[in-house]
């Protein structure tokens, strides 16, 4: 069956081809790379599929926030053929952005230069990270590489992100070399089991309290944070994960905080013929945009009162 004709333009009519990042609220960059995936591949196809289905969503959030005041500059894809060289180009591109990046992976390794670029862009400021993932990705080296998708947050720490400014939610799988940092490294860790036992509202309140001390916040969302029943299209699905509602509850709890970036990774369309995993990723992206839309509306109202 062929794809249906689009019902909207790119990014639910929010994308503008005639503007630069300096004139937009968000910059979208796709990184169609999955050579660092240690198991099943396919996430290199995610940027194309997420963009395609963005033409079949509407410029409203689920609470009917209007998104038509948001402007998106989609710069297309940054291909990776030489990981070290091209990751450096991604780092430079992110560090130079004047607005909020939305990065479409790719396997999670593509977040290494994104975090490095964000750390450079906000030099001198406290950069918080909300890490949504089944895995902590704290390995120093994995399958012979320090740029593996299992090493992302270890490289983030080395880039200067403070452990006390990192909240990891949804974890449920571990490597031996990660245990020391998980148990004694000062990170804020909330497992999927803890979310199930205590409830996401309590976890979200604690995450917000931690991240409210940061001057800028980046959200890194590995789609395998979801239970495989909701997102089977990913390289290493791990049972007993979060629900889509729990992820949205957590993301929406950040309303009013200084969000500075989002990456969505490990969506592998070939592993999910229903593309439910793609639609989950798109939902999270659009609701992230809605957080900024509500904040912008509030800022306008405050200006009008002055």
The mean per-residue pLDDT over the stretch 68-93 comes to: 98
Please give the full DSSP string across 211-261, using - where no structure is assigned: HTT-SEEEEEEEGGGB-TTT---SSS--SS-B-HHHHHHHHHTTTTS-EEE
Count how many domains the chain has.
1
Report the C-alpha gap between 261 and 169 in whole angstroms. 17
**Does residue 6 fall inside a structural domain?**
no
Pairing relationship of beta strands 166-171 and 100-105 according to DSSP bridges: unpaired
pLDDT reported for residue 299:
81
- Record the pTM: 0.97
Partners of 3 in the beta sheet? none
**Does residue 5 fall inside a structural domain?**
no
Radius of gyration in angstroms for the set of CA atoms belonging to the chain, rounded to a whole number? 18
* Helix axes of 83-95 and 111-121: crossing angle, nearest 10 degrees: 30
Is residue 95 scored above 70 in pLDDT? Answer: yes
**Does residue 295 fall inside a structural domain?**
yes
Is residue 1 scored above 60 in pLDDT? Answer: no
pLDDT reported for residue 38:
87
**Does residue 123 fall inside a structural domain?**
yes
Read off the CATH number of the domain in which 262 is found. 3.40.800.10
10-60 pLDDT, tens digit per residue, is 999 999 999 999 999 999 999 999 999 888 999 999 999 999 999 999 999
CB atoms within 10 A of CB 301: 9
Q: Which domain, by its residues, includes 41?
A: 21-305
**Does residue 29 fall inside a structural domain?**
yes
CB atoms within 10 A of CB 235: 23
**Does residue 11 fall inside a structural domain?**
no
**Does residue 94 fall inside a structural domain?**
yes
**Does residue 167 fall inside a structural domain?**
yes
């Amino acid at each position: 069956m062929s794809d249906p004709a689009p019902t909207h333009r790119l990014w639910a009519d929010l994308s503008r081809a005639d503007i630069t990042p300096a004139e937009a609220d968000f910059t979208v960059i796709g990184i169609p790379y999955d050579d660092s995936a240690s198991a099943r591949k396919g996430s290199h196809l995610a940027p194309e599929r997420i963009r395609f289905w963005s033409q079949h969503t509407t410029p409203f959030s689920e609470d009917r926030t209007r998104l038509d005041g948001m402007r998106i500059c989609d710069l297309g894809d940054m291909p990776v053929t030489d990981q070290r060289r091209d990751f450096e180009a991604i780092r430079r591109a992110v560090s130079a952005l004047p607005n909020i990046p939305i990065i479409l992976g790719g396997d999670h390794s593509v977040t290494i230069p994104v975090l490095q670029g964000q750390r450079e862009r906000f030099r001198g400021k406290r950069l918080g990270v909300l890490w949504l993932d089944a895995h902590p990705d704290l390995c120093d080296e994995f399958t012979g590489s320090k740029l593996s998708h299992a090493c992302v947050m270890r490289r983030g720490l080395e880039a200067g992100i403070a452990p006390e400014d990192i909240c990891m939610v949804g974890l449920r799988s571990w490597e031996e070399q990660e245990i020391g940092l998980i148990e004694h490294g000062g990170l804020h860790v909330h497992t999927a089991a803890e979310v199930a036992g205590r409830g996401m509202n309590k976890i979200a309140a604690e995450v917000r309290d931690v991240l409210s001390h940061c001057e800028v916040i980046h959200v890194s969302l590995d789609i395998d944070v979801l239970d495989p029943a909701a997102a089977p299209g990913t390289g290493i699905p791990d049972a007993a994960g979060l629900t889509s509602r729990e992820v949205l509850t957590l993301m929406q709890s950040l309303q009013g905080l200084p969000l500075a970036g989002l990456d969505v990774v490990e969506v592998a369309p070939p592993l999910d013929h229903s593309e439910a995993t793609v639609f989950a990723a798109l939902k999270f992206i659009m609701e992230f945009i809605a957080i900024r839309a509500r904040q912008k509306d509030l800022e306008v109202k405050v200006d009008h009162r002055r």
